[in-house]
């Protein structure tokens, strides 16, 4: 038997082993730090947004007891189902009734601080529940923006004292404002809603998807499956790659110069917005689509061709279904980018003040990021919280889209 | 390099090529076929007749053009940019490279099985049913079911998979996948089946099953098999063609090629001088 030590017993070997383990530990620790850092940043973002944004889903409201049974509004309950029910209630004297009721219970000074649109909220309550007209009820109605900011601790000392007084009597409070999700833009932070912008964004995204997805997928299929590999396809490929890197405002200029020149009447419309964003999204879909198509094993194509499938059948029966998860992922990434895009929409006029939700693809609209941008520009402090709330809505929209992408990917993913 | 080789291939006279003993007219015949990839010549002036009755084996060192020539027989080379075929290849006396030839129809008549099993990532049933469906071979579900069962039975796979036809074809073992691919080729009722080293990715037991299967299919289809294993060629084939550097050096009865080759290069290859 020889006396030489086994190779794994020598000092040099042990030292190398220790070094290797140490470097492995270092690498692990660094990786963990990177992950913790990004998770931390994300958590901070979400927490601050939620803290700021929670207030945006609330507003200052006065509790106004109204006795409809005594006041007898002169209105036929049938009329409440009509489209112009609010005007009918106005003619029947609802604003005056609200004002008088407020004066009786809260006093003249507080009644003056009821928002000028408060009676509309009362009208909506009545339309939602016509039985109100026969009884006594306490309505929570929005205050003026001055009282709202006094409640927040800003403004005149006199008004702040009044706010404190009303709060002490239980007549003034910040309540959850479900209407924020149903109304559109307004000049008064107490009366704004996000639905107008949300609907505008949805309509715009729908147009974008409808244009960018088929065009992008067909272009990707053509370039990968049919186009001869020559200088021309190379030039097209480079152009598409560059298109994906063009700053978004350039697309806005293009939309302004081309689409609005062709359709001058559709300024601010989701149709034009969607077309503009589709230009931006399409190259992303083409690039991700080509990668997904390239990843389909050639053996699958050979197998299909060898039993007599035509090239089109190979593409639509085999290549496309296998590439679909990748294409969908790319599409959602492109769409998410388009959803958050502000600059091109500003260029084509989707920054207008639009007080009613759009009722179609051609009516004036704004979009979530633009709305956020517009509100963040307001001086009134009430808009700060509303802006955060709008950001939360935008983030939720994005999360839903990403969730959909993950679902679709898992649903269509095939193993081979 | 390929082209500088002196043309010493023993071309059998026409009469012998068409195999007078069998009295058969060839299913496929190639005349002076050369295949090029761009400027590079991969197959040089090959003429051969392929009979329905036999399994024909192509042997030769790797890179000698066996796969290239095989793929010329059902025009799979069309999908490779820059590939070009010279000469004539006839299927039942009809030139498959003439203009107006329907490639889709040709490939339904001349099926192919590849080196690596490539089932579609779909159910076992769909793998088989796909071909008959696109060619309109079945009227209704019952007929399609019958074709699927018949094809799987012929490929010797029915007993193993009949209870899980809805499972993915890619979940089968390698040997089963390859038999699934054979069943897929059979399902469209081809006349010729081309196999490019169908066992090279399989273990010995799966290989034995495929060889058995090839023997059962013989006679019903003209089968051409490329193999790098001379034992395999000897076991499954009745006719063998030896390729070297793009040329077909010798073609004849398998027993003759292995026991009594006429060409020095064939003998060298068979005795393992190179490979
Ligand atoms: N797609 C292709 N493009 C260019 N050259 C090829 C291609 N396929 C094969 N070749 C070349 O053609 C020759 C024959 O190849 P192949 O037919 O695959 O040989 P074998 O199947 O006998 O091993 C080889 O030199 C190979 O490099
Ligand atoms: Mg080969």
- The mean predicted confidence, pLDDT, of chain B is 88
Instruction: In whole angstroms, give the CA distance from residue B110 to residue A314.
Output: 18
CB A338 within 8 A of CB A208: yes
Q: Which residues of chain B neighbour A322 with C-beta distances below 8 Å?
A: 121
Is B187 part of the contact surface with chain A (CB cutoff 8 Å)? yes
Alpha carbon A239 to chain centroid distance? 31
Q: Are residues A235 and A153 part of one domain?
A: no
Give A236-270 pLDDT, tens digit per residue: 989 999 998 899 999 999 999 999 999 998 888 99
Distance of CA A192 from the midpoint of ligand 2 (Å): 71
Is B130 part of the contact surface with chain A (CB cutoff 8 Å)? yes
Place of tokens 């030769």: B60
Give A130-144 pLDDT, tens digit per residue: 888 888 888 889 998
Residue B275 has pLDDT above 60, yes or no: no
Q: Which residues of chain A neighbour B131 with C-beta distances below 8 Å?
A: 307-309
Supply B272's token pair: 């393992």
User: Between the CA of residue B86 and those of A40, A281, B2, B258, B273, what are the distances in Å?
Assistant: 67, 46, 16, 30, 32
Task: Name the DSSP class of B253.
Answer: E
pTM recorded for the entire structure: 0.81
For a ligand 1 pocket test, name from B37, B38, B245 the mutation site with the most ligand atoms within 8 angstroms of its C-beta.
B37
Distance of CA B238 from the midpoint of ligand 2 (Å): 21
Residue B86 has pLDDT above 70, yes or no: yes
Report the number of distinct structural domains present in chain B: 1
pLDDT mean over B140-155:
93
Q: Are residues A332 and A241 part of one domain?
A: yes
Q: Is residue B159 part of a domain?
A: yes
CATH number at residue B44: 3.40.50.300
Q: Is residue B180 part of a domain?
A: yes
Place of tokens 């550097």: B245
Q: Are residues A105 and A222 part of one domain?
A: no
Q: Is residue B124 part of a domain?
A: yes
Is A211 part of the contact surface with chain B (CB cutoff 8 Å)? no
For a ligand 1 pocket test, name from B57, B68, B198 the mutation site with the most ligand atoms within 8 angstroms of its C-beta.
B68
Nearest CA in chain B to A228: B81
Q: Are residues A141 and A206 part of one domain?
A: no
Q: Is residue B161 part of a domain?
A: yes
Q: Are residues A230 and A141 part of one domain?
A: no
Range of the domain at B144: 3-270
Task: Name the DSSP class of B246.
Answer: T
Q: Are residues A220 and A73 part of one domain?
A: no
The reported pLDDT for the residue numbered B13 is 42
Range of the domain at A378: 195-412
* Residue B43 alpha carbon, nearest atom of ligand 1: 14
Chain B stretch 1-30, residues whose beta carbon is closer than 8 A to a beta carbon of chain A: none
Is A225 part of the contact surface with chain B (CB cutoff 8 Å)? no
H-run or E-run covering B196: strand B192-196
Give A323-351 pLDDT, tens digit per residue: 998 999 899 989 999 999 999 999 898 88
Q: Are residues A271 and A396 part of one domain?
A: yes
**From A70-79, A175-184, B163-172, B219-228, the region with the lowest mean pLDDT:** A70-79
Q: Is residue A15 part of a domain?
A: no
pLDDT mean over B221-226:
95
The reported pLDDT for the residue numbered A75 is 77
Report the number of distinct structural domains present in chain A: 2
Task: Name the DSSP class of B221.
Answer: B
- The mean predicted confidence, pLDDT, of chain A is 89
Q: Is residue B123 part of a domain?
A: yes
Nearest CA to ligand 1 atom 4: B37
Give B204-218 pLDDT, tens digit per residue: 999 998 999 999 999
Q: Are residues A393 and A265 part of one domain?
A: yes
The reported pLDDT for the residue numbered A409 is 82
Residue B17 has pLDDT above 60, yes or no: no
At a CB cut-off of 8 Å and minimum separation 6, what does A167 contact? A151, A173
H-run or E-run covering B55: strand B55-59
Residue of A362, A342, A359 whose CA lies nearest to A351: A342
Residue A232 has pLDDT above 60, yes or no: yes
Residue B16 has pLDDT above 50, yes or no: no
Contact B181 A303 (CB under 8 A): yes
Instruction: In whole angstroms, give the CA distance from residue B77 to residue B184.
Output: 21
Contact A307 B114 (CB under 8 A): no
What crossing angle do the helices spanning B124-134 and B174-187 adopt, rounded to 10°? Answer: 20
* Furthest CA-CA distance within chain A: 116
Q: Is residue A238 part of a domain?
A: yes
Contact A305 B79 (CB under 8 A): yes
Is B184 part of the contact surface with chain A (CB cutoff 8 Å)? yes
Residue of A333, A328, A332 whose CA lies nearest to A217: A328
Contact B112 A299 (CB under 8 A): no
A136 Rama class: left (phi>0) / alpha (psi -120 to 50) / beta: beta
Q: Is residue A51 part of a domain?
A: no
Q: Is residue A183 part of a domain?
A: no
Q: Are residues A348 and A236 part of one domain?
A: yes
Contact A307 B170 (CB under 8 A): no
The reported pLDDT for the residue numbered B22 is 52
The reported pLDDT for the residue numbered B2 is 38
Is A230 part of the contact surface with chain B (CB cutoff 8 Å)? no
Band (B274; pLDDT cuts 50, 70, 90): low
CATH number at residue A223: 1.10.3720.10
Q: Please spell the DSSP secondary structure of B117-164, one letter per residue.
A: ----SSBHHHHHHHHHHHTT--SHHHHHHHHHHHHHHHTT-HHHHTT-
At a CB cut-off of 8 Å and minimum separation 6, what does B188 contact? A307, A308, B108, B111, B131, B132, B135, B137
Give B114-134 pLDDT, tens digit per residue: 999 999 999 999 999 999 999
Instruction: In whole angstroms, give the CA distance from residue A49 to residue B59.
Output: 71
Q: Which residues of chain B neighbour A416 with C-beta distances below 8 Å?
A: 119, 121, 170
Is B20 exposed, middle or buried (CB count within 10 Å of its CB: 0-12, 13-18, 19+)?
A: exposed
Q: Is residue A22 part of a domain?
A: no
Which of A228, A233, A299, A306 should be substituted to probe chain B, the one whose Cβ sees the most B Cβ atoms within 10 Å? Answer: A306
What crossing angle do the helices spanning A270-294 and A231-245 adopt, rounded to 10°? Answer: 130
The reported pLDDT for the residue numbered B24 is 62
Q: Is residue A356 part of a domain?
A: yes
Q: Are residues A220 and A318 part of one domain?
A: yes
Residue A281 has pLDDT above 90, yes or no: yes
Residue A384 has pLDDT above 80, yes or no: yes
The reported pLDDT for the residue numbered A111 is 83
B194 close to ligand 1 (CB < 6 Angstrom): no
Q: Are residues A287 and A220 part of one domain?
A: yes
Residue B11 has pLDDT above 90, yes or no: no
Q: Is residue B275 part of a domain?
A: no
Q: Is residue A378 part of a domain?
A: yes
Q: Which residues of chain B neighbour A300 with C-beta distances below 8 Å?
A: 118, 120-121
Instruction: In whole angstroms, give the CA distance from residue B18 to residue B52.
Output: 12
Is B73 part of the contact surface with chain A (CB cutoff 8 Å)? no
Higher pLDDT, B13 or B80: B80
SS3 string, chain A, reads: CCCCCCHHHCHHHHHHHHHHHHHHHHHHHHHHHHHHHHHHHHHHHHHHHHHHHHHHCEEEEEEEEEEHHHHCCCCCHHHHHCCCHHHHHHHCCHHHHHHHHHHHHHCHHHHHCECCCHHHHHHHHHHHCHHHHHCEEEEEEEECHHHHHHHCCCCCHHHHHHHHHHHHCCCEEEEECHHHHCCCCCCCCCCCCCHHHHHHHHHHHHHHHHHHHHHHHHHHHHHHHHCCCCHHHHHHHHHHHHHHHCCHHHHHHHHHHHHHHHCHHHCCCHHHHHHHHHHHHHHHHHHHHHHHHHCCCHHHHHHHHHCCCCHHHHHHHHHHHHHHHHHHHHHHHHHHHHHCCCHHHHHCCCCCCCCCCCCCCCCCCCCHHHHHHHHHCCCCCHHHHHHHHHHHHHHHHHHHHHHHHHHHHHHHCCCC
pLDDT mean over B175-204:
93
Q: Is residue A35 part of a domain?
A: no
pLDDT mean over B186-205:
93
b/e A337-363 (16+ beta carbons within 10 angstroms → b): ebbbbbbbbbbbbbbeebeebbeebbb
Q: Are residues A224 and A260 part of one domain?
A: yes
């Amino acid at each position: 038997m020889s006396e030489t030590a086994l190779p794994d017993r020598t000092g040099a070997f042990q030292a190398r082993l220790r070094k290797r383990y140490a470097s492995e530990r270092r690498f692990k620790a660094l990786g963990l730090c990177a992950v913790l850092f990004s998770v931390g940043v994300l958590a901070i973002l979400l927490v601050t947004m939620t803290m700021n944004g929670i207030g945006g889903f609330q507003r200052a409201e006065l509790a106004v007891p109204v006795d409809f049974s005594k006041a007898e509004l002169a209105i036929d309950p049938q009329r409440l189902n009509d489209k112009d029910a609010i005007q009918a209630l106005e003619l029947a004297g609802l604003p005056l009734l609200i004002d008088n009721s407020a004066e009786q219970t809260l006093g003249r000074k507080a009644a003056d601080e009821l928002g000028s649109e408060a009676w509309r909220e009362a009208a909506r309550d009545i339309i939602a529940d016509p039985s109100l007209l026969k009884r006594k009820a306490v309505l929570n109605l929005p205050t003026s923006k001055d009282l709202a900011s006094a409640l927040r601790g800003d403004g005149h000392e006199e008004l702040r004292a009044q706010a404190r007084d009303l709060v002490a009597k239980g007549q003034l409070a910040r309540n959850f404002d479900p209407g924020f999700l149903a109304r559109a833009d307004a000049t008064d932070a107490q009366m704004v809603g996000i639905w107008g912008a949300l609907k505008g964004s949805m309509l715009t995204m729908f147009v974008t998807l409808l244009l960018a997805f088929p065009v992008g997928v067909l272009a990707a299929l053509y370039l990968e499956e049919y186009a001869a590999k020559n200088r021309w396809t190379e030039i097209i490929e480079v152009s598409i790659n560059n298109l994906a890197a063009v700053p978004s405002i350039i697309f806005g200029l293009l939309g302004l110069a081309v689409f609005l020149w062709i359709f001058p009447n559709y300024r601010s419309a989701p149709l034009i917005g969607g077309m503009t964003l589709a230009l931006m999204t399409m190259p992303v879909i083409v690039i991700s689509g080509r990668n997904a198509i390239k990843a389909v094993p050639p053996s699958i194509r050979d197998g299909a061709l060898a039993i007599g499938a035509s090239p089109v059948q190979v593409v639509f029966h085999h290549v496309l279904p296998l590439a679909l998860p990748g294409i969908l992922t790319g599409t959602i990434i492109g769409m998410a980018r388009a959803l958050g895009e502000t600059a091109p929409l500003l260029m084509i006029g989707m920054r207008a003040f639009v007080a009613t939700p759009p009722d179609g693809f051609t009516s004036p609209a704004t979009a979530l990021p633009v709305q956020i941008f517009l509100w963040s520009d307001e001086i009134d402090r009430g808009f700060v919280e509303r802006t955060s709330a709008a950001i939360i809505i935008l983030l939720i929209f994005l999360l839903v889209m990403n969730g959909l992408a993950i679902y679709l990917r898992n649903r269509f993913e095939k193993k081979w | 390099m390929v082209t500088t080789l002196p043309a010493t291939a023993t071309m059998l006279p026409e009469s012998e090529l068409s195999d007078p003993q069998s009295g058969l007219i060839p299913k496929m015949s190639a005349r002076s076929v050369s295949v090029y990839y761009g400027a590079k010549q991969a197959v040089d002036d090959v003429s051969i007749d392929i009979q329905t009755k036999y399994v024909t084996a192509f042997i030769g060192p790797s890179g000698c053009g066996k796969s290239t020539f095989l793929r010329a027989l059902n025009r799979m080379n069309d999908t490779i940019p820059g590939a070009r075929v010279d000469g004539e290849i006839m299927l039942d006396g009809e030139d498959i490279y003439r203009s107006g030839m329907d490639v889709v129809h040709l490939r339904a008549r001349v099926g192919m099985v590849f080196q690596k099993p490539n089932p579609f990532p779909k159910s076992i049933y769909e793998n088989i049913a796909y071909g008959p469906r696109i060619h309109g071979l079945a009227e209704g579900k019952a007929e399609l079911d019958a074709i699927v069962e018949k094809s799987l039975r012929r490929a010797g796979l029915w007993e193993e998979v009949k209870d899980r036809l809805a499972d993915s074809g890619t979940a089968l073992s390698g040997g089963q996948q390859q038999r699934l691919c054979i069943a897929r080729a059979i399902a469209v009722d081809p006349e010729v089946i081309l196999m490019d080293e169908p066992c090279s990715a399989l273990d010995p037991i799966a290989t034995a099953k495929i060889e058995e299967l090839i023997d059962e299919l013989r006679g019903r289809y003209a089968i051409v098999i490329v193999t790098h294993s001379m034992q395999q060629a000897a076991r499954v084939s009745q006719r063998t063609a030896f390729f070297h550097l793009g040329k077909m050096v010798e073609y004849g009865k398998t027993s003759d090629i292995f026991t009594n080759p006429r060409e020095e290069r064939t003998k060298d290859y068979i005795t393992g001088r190179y490979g």
